[in-house]
Amino acid sequence: MIELGFALHPKWVEQPGRENFLAPLKANGMRVLEFTLHPEGDEWEPMRALAAECVRAGYRCYFHAPYKDPFNPDGFASARRAELESRYALPIEFAEQMARLGNYDPALVIHGAHGKTALAELTEDTRAFLAWVIARTERARLMLEILPPKPGYVRVGETYEQVVNLVRELNHPRLNICWDFGHTVLQNLGLPPADFLSATRHVHIHDLNDAFEDHFPLIYGNVPWQADLRALMQAGFAGAVVMEINGYRAASVENLPARLAESFALMTAVIGNS
C-alpha cells in the first residue's frame, strides 16, 4: 500500500491550527506525517510536542533523524563515536517512544556521513552508525536517503550504488532506502536501477523551482515525479510518499495552501485511491 504524507513543522499549524491546516490535505489523500528531529535549538520542544500530539490523535508519524551540524556520522567509526552516540540517543529514543505510544513501526530517515576525508572512511562511518542505530531500536524502520550534492564535501549517499551497497551489506529487515525524487534530479540521475527500486520503502517528494531550489509543491514540473512513482509501483513499492516543503522558500508561492492540497490531488490521481 502507498500512503501519502506531509512533513509537518509547528510553523505550519501555528496560525490555522492543526486540523484546519491538515483537513484540505487529508481531503486529497494525505494520511501520514513526518517530523524532523533536531534536538538542539528552539524547535525541539514544539516539534516533539506536536509529534506526540499527532500520534495521540491517531496519525502514523514518521521521523527524519537530525542531519544539521553537528549531526553527521563523520568519525563514528573512529574518534567521534561516543560524542555522536550521546547526541543521537535522544532523537532515536523519541522515535521509539512514539512507536510504543502509537503501536506502529515508524520510518526513520537517515543521511550518510559527509566530511573532508576519503569516501571509504565516510562509508565505514555510515556503516557503523547504521549498525548502531539498528541495535538501539526495536521498531524504527531505517531509511538511508539518496542525497543532493554538497559542494566542498565528500558525502555518502549521492549515488544509487552507494545507497544500495550499504543497505545490502548491512542486510537487515529494518534497513531500507528513502528515495528523494528532487535529490536525484539535482544529482542528474535518471531512473534508479531495479535493486534500488526494490529496496525503496520511503519517498520524499517535492518540486524544484526554475532556479533549481528544492522543496516546493508540485507546481513547476521540474521533477518527473509521475514517472518516478510509476517506476516504484511497477516494482511493487509499499510505503510512504511524503511531501517535504520548505515553508520559508515556498512562502513566495501564491495561495500556498491550495497548491499543497492540489499536489496531494495530483499524487492521488497517479497512485489511485487506496
Footprint of Zn ion (CB under 5 A): 145
Cβ-based nearer residue to Zn ion, 145 or 158: 145
If we measure between CA atoms, which residue out of 12, 145, 121, 128 comes closest to residue 66?
Answer: 145
Cβ-based nearer residue to Zn ion, 28 or 214: 214
Judge whether 239 and 203 are in contact, CB under 8 Å. Answer: yes
Cβ-based nearer residue to Zn ion, 92 or 261: 92
Cβ-based nearer residue to Zn ion, 142 or 261: 142
| Pairing mode, strands 141-145 and 154-155 | unpaired
Query: Cβ of residue 178: shortest distance to Zn ion, in angstroms?
Result: 7
Q: Which residue is nearest to Zn ion (CB)?
A: 145
Query: Cβ of residue 109: shortest distance to Zn ion, in angstroms?
Result: 5
Q: What is the CA radius of gyration of the chain?
A: 18
Query: Residue 17 corresponds to which cell in the numbers above?
Result: 491550527
CA distance linking residue 262 with residue 247, whole number of Å: 16
Query: Cβ of residue 15: shortest distance to Zn ion, in angstroms?
Result: 26
**Which residues are registered as beta bridge partners of 179?**
203
DSSP notation for 127-162: HHHHHHHHHH-SS-EEEEEP----TTSEETTSSHHH
Cβ-based nearer residue to Zn ion, 145 or 214: 145
SS3 assignment, position 90: helix
Query: Cβ of residue 65: shortest distance to Zn ion, in angstroms?
Result: 9
Cβ-based nearer residue to Zn ion, 145 or 207: 145
Query: Cβ of residue 143: shortest distance to Zn ion, in angstroms?
Result: 9
CA distance linking residue 235 with residue 206, whole number of Å: 21
Query: Cβ of residue 76: shortest distance to Zn ion, in angstroms?
Result: 18
Phi, psi dihedrals of residue 54, rounded to the nearest 5°: -70, -40
